[in-house]
Amino acid sequence: MAVPKRRTSRARQGNRRSHHHVTPPQVQYCPQCNEPVLPHGVCPNCGYYQGREAVPVKTEGK
Amino acid sequence: MRHRNAGRTLSRSASHRLALFRNLTRALVEHERITTTVPKAKELRPFVERIITIAKRGVASGDPIKTLHARRLVIARLGPVAKVELLDVKGEPTGKTLLKKIFDDLAIRYADRPGGYTRILKLHKRRLGDAGPTAIIELLKQGEVKAAKRSAAPATTAPTPRPEPKPESAATPPSESPEASASTNSPTGQEAAASEPKSNESQS
């Protein structure tokens, strides 16, 4: 069975992992309340989408 | 090649899928607005709209035989759920079957609307369990028109007027100057407003 000849050095390991980053989600900002919203999504804070479309939002607690 | 691969199977057999669409249709017509997953909403839309269009066509013909034919076509699509009695908000029976509501209410409500009887709104909330993306699908109310251009809305990320009415495309600030984008914006807005009632008239 094939086995590594050399132990992976810390530098090599780090170089390999240099691309393992998380990309932040792309967000828009709600024109109604300035909260971050996902593109094409109803605002979770105020329930607005495309300038109207109030989806009733629970105000108490949540 | 992805030839003839349209549509989603939704991890179901054909009969299971049909049953799902029938059940979702019943729920949508009964409640006018339901929350489901995005793929289900997207698949449900053509199914429901086709049924409404058939009903509309039957009612618009004014011919009782054609209306009966349309009724039978809709029954063929809906199967047993066509005869389900719908409940009102309190859960009391309304005395109206699904089929009756489609023909007596929806076909009349959408008489002047050339398709597009439903709206899908994507929600942020993920489903508990599989974290599936959720959406609302709803039947449009009488006389709803396109959302007005958001000119009065305060710009947040982009201080310049947005080139598109859709908010999703407005993340990147427009490269044009404010005057240029505003001038390209307003004629299209007037055009859309002018063409809207005209198309309605030609339909009726």
Contact A42 B124 (CB under 8 A): yes
Q: Which member of A30, A41, A51 has the closest CB to residue B122?
A: A41
> Given this model, what pLDDT does residue B149 score?
55
Q: CB B140: neighbour CB atoms within 10 A? A: 16
> Given this model, what pLDDT does residue B162 score?
45
Using a CB-CB cut-off of 8 Å, the residues of chain A touching B124 are 37-38, 41-42, 44
| pLDDT one-digit tens code per residue, B150-182 | 544 444 444 444 444 444 444 444 444 444 444
Mean per-residue pLDDT, B84-88? 89
Would you place residue B88 in the very low, low, confident or very high pLDDT band (cuts 50, 70, 90)? confident
Using a CB-CB cut-off of 8 Å, the residues of chain B touching A30 are 156
> Given this model, what pLDDT does residue A59 score?
58
The better pLDDT of the pair A1, B179 is held by: A1
SS3 B133: strand
Q: Searching chain A, which residue's CA lies closest to the CA of residue B157?
A: A29
Contact A28 B147 (CB under 8 A): no
| C-alpha distance across the termini of chain B, in Å | 42
Among the ranges given (A27-41, B34-48, B124-138, B163-177), the one the predictor scored with the smallest mean pLDDT: B163-177
Which tokens is B143 given?
A: 């006389």
Using a CB-CB cut-off of 8 Å, the residues of chain A touching B154 are 31, 34
Chain centroid, CA B129 distance in Å: 27
SS3 A2: coil
Mean per-residue pLDDT, B79-89? 90
The percent of residues above 90 in pLDDT, for chain B, comes to: 61
For residue B70, is pLDDT > 80? yes
C-alpha–C-alpha distance, residues B9 and B14, integer Å: 8
> Given this model, what pLDDT does residue B90 score?
86
Using a CB-CB cut-off of 8 Å, the residues of chain B touching A54 are none
The residue among A30, A27, A48, A40 whose CA lies nearest residue B135 is: A40
SS3 B190: helix
Mean per-residue pLDDT, B38-47? 96
| C-alpha distance across the termini of chain A, in Å | 57
The better pLDDT of the pair B202, B75 is held by: B75
**Residue bearing tokens 């007037």:** B190
For residue A53, is pLDDT > 50? yes
CA–CA min distance A60, chain B (Å)? 17
| pLDDT one-digit tens code per residue, B104-152 | 999 999 999 999 999 999 998 899 999 999 999 999 998 877 765 554 4
Q: Searching chain B, which residue's CA lies closest to the CA of residue A32?
A: B153
Residue B153 touches partner A, C-beta closer than 8 Å:
yes
Q: Searching chain A, which residue's CA lies closest to the CA of residue B122?
A: A41
Phi (first) and psi of residue B44, to 5 degrees: -70, -35
CA–CA min distance B147, chain A (Å)? 7
When mean pLDDT is compared over A44-58, B7-21, B80-94, the highest value belongs to: B7-21
For residue B49, is pLDDT > 60? yes
Using a CB-CB cut-off of 8 Å, the residues of chain A touching B123 are 41-42, 44, 55
Q: Count how many pairs of residues, chain A against chain B, have C-beta atoms within 8 Å.
A: 57
Q: Strand B85-87 and strand B93-97: pairing?
A: antiparallel
